[in-house]
Chains A and B, each alone.
Chain A
């Protein structure tokens, strides 16, 4: 248990569906992240939030829409996904951006399958 909780753990959705992934951290961290982990590819950073403000969007398609209502919660809204979007989506947090690469804590991930 790292203090970062993701729900749901597994999700199967059709290409026309709309769904949301949720991430919650009780570590008092101010920075939160979404990563995508595909088979045989390195983790890809998707979005970065620092004090609820988005600071990074690594050319992620608009069918992925993040939301950070407060420092403890992060959502990833999904719509009109493609089968190639099937992957493990990981949420992470750190005390601040400066500690992104020294003390990041990951959730267990949501295994997403798009059919």
Chain B
């Protein structure tokens, strides 16, 4: 069974701090996506990474795909209250199958 683990499960930080959340697996993925989900809403796609070692930046968010395509990290610089939400990673297993991690719940306190 392929699983994605995310850590930490919960994270509460002050506005302006930096943070990193992780997504790990023993399986190799063809691609990896990061989503943010706000309470009562559906997940919103932030980024997709497909190449081992790839780094993508989206304003204050930096995403990295591990060289072996088994893990990924999301780094947020100078967190803001609007960054609060559940961060989900999802790994592409095959062209028509994707699995999700359990998520990291982030709370940014003003």
Residues of A within 8 A of B (CB): 2, 4, 6, 40-43, 45, 48, 50, 55-56, 90, 92, 97-98, 100-109, 111
Contact = CB atoms under 8 A, between A and B. Distances in A.
A105 B102 CA distance: 18
Q: Majority SS of interface residues in chain B?
A: strand
Contacts of A41: 102
9 contacts: A42-B99, A42-B101, A43-B100, A101-B95, A102-B31, A104-B98, A107-B42, A108-B42, A109-B40
Contacts of A56: 96
Contact of A101 (B4, B40, B92): B92
Nearest to B29: A101
A85 B30 CA distance: 31
Given A41-B102, A42-B102, 10 more contacts: A40-B102, A42-B100, A43-B88, A55-B96, A100-B96, A100-B98, A101-B98, A102-B50, A104-B33, A106-B43
- Chain B: number of interface residues, binned into ranges: 20 to 34
Given A108-B41, A109-B41, A97 B99 contact: no
A101 B97 contact: yes
Interface of B: 4, 30-31, 33, 35, 40-45, 48, 50, 88, 90-93, 95-103
A100 B97 contact: yes
